Amino acid sequence: MLKTTFLVALFLAVAVVGGGASVWYALDAQEGVGAVTIGSWTAFPEIGTPDADPYSRARIAREGVLTLGRAEGLAFIAQRDSRGDILRRNCVYRIEGSVPPARFWTLYAADANLSALKAKNGRPSALHSYEVLHRPRNKLIILAGRHPEPGNWLPLQGSGDMFLVLTLYDTTIASSTGIADVELPAITKSGCDA
């Protein structure tokens, strides 16, 4: 009797801990159910709609964030560079390419909670579409790193992993069916501080 009770308790503990850990992993993963990945960038196009999957709804509830509806915009998150390496705050990244059509867009570096990293010396911690310098054919080059760079520079500070968040506001791609055909900027590592 005692042996049976112990085995039942053990199996229940394994089930509860294993189930909780798998749900925690699914909610923390930037890839997964409902995700659309384009190069290094991942988005959840259904996250702010009634059609959102249960994991997206649970992620919203756990983090307490306000999401953009389909007509309002779409956020793309990059956790890795074009080679597949994790983005680090002590490295310099070249973000190069074109941004899909949008009335307005922002780009910022974020921590694990997707909160914007604070820049030092009162500098803005994000770039937006009205302030960046464009190249011919609407291409742009943004350098993200600790040290000032000429042109478009996104300041970074601190150490550890980071995310890049590109949010497109009032964009046509959020409501179109061809979201996977969109071209997003490539993220290339230029070097790292020691």
Residues 99 and 126 in one domain: yes
Residues 102 and 122 in one domain: yes
pTM over 0.75: yes
Provide the CB-side half-sphere exposure for 120 (13 A, CA).
7
Domain assignment of residue 87, given as a range: 35-192
User: Count of domains in the chain?
Assistant: 2
pLDDT digit string, tens, across residues 85-119: 999 999 999 999 999 888 999 999 999 888 888 87
Q: Alpha-carbon distance 46 to 61, whole Å?
A: 15
| Residues 19 and 42 occupy one common structural domain | no
Note whether 94 and 52 are same-domain residues.
Answer: yes
Instruction: Say whether both 75 and 115 belong to one domain.
Output: yes
Pairwise CA distance, residues 29 & 27, whole Å = 6
- Residue 65 pLDDT exceeds 70: no
Instruction: Give the mean model confidence (pLDDT) for residues 66-82.
Output: 83
Alpha carbon of 117 to those of 30, 72, 110: distances in Å? Answer: 18, 24, 5
Average pLDDT across the chain, whole number: 83
Q: Are residues 13 and 75 in the same domain?
A: no
**176-187 mean pLDDT:** 78
Is residue 63 domain-shared with residue 141, that is, in the same domain?
yes
User: Do 187 and 104 sit in the same domain of this protein?
Assistant: yes
Task: Evaluate if residue 71 carries a pLDDT over 90.
Answer: no
Same domain, yes or no: 17 and 91: no
Shared-domain flag, residues 154 and 107: yes
Do residue 153 and residue 83 come from a single domain? yes
pLDDT tens column, 130-155: 999 988 888 999 999 999 889 999 99
Token pair belonging to 174: 């959020």
pLDDT of the residue at 44: 80
